[in-house]
Amino acid sequence: MKLPLRSFIPAGALVASGLLRAVGEMVEIVAGQPTPLSGILAALALTGFAIGVIGIWDEACTSLLGWLATIGTVGGALGFVLIAFDSVLLRGTPPAIAIASDPPFLASAAAILVGTAAMALWIIRSPHYQNWVGIVLIATTMTSVLASFLALPPIVQPLSDIAMAASFVQFGLSMYENAKRT
């Protein structure tokens, strides 16, 4: 059975975003700090994640929770894409704590936290996705955002983001399987 591009693109974008995110975080771990390459990979991963989340709109927009999940997650992800490009291209890849008090970072963090909390609940309630994807998504998003403000060991955020990447991949694979069934 051949899937239409409308179904395949978001699922593929989620899988690709997870893989890009994992590779970017491994680059950061090896370098011992954020690098221009890890920043660019994070921006590409978040772009793919936003494209993937847009793919659930038809299903999610039927509830306030799904609507909030989609809008908040996509808005926050795209805000962080702009922040990543700004950091890499204009600021020389500063540590997250150096930009965490900037208004665009705070707005993106608020949007992504609200969006992923709603997304996690929506995924957990949906019969089409594994519960662990929602649980990992909110736990790792909270860890990643908090690591930007707290003096956590430098390895915490990259390891958390690798776990987040696994949830992106599984979300995309589930989306693909759901599209095959419909």
Closest CA to 175 of 1, 9, 2: 9
Is residue 2 one of the residues assigned to a domain? no
Rounded to two decimals, the pTM is 0.91
Domain region containing 149 = 7-181
Rg (CA), the chain: 16
Task: Count up the domains in the chain and report the number.
Answer: 1
Is residue 84 one of the residues assigned to a domain? yes
- Residue 159: CB atoms within 10 A of its CB come to 14
Give residue-wise pLDDT tens across range 13-22.
Answer: 999 999 999 9
Q: pLDDT class for 1, splitting at 50, 70, 90?
A: low
Backbone φ and ψ of 101, nearest 5°: -95, 0
Give residue-wise pLDDT tens across range 96-143.
Answer: 777 888 999 999 999 999 999 999 999 999 999 999 999 999 999 999
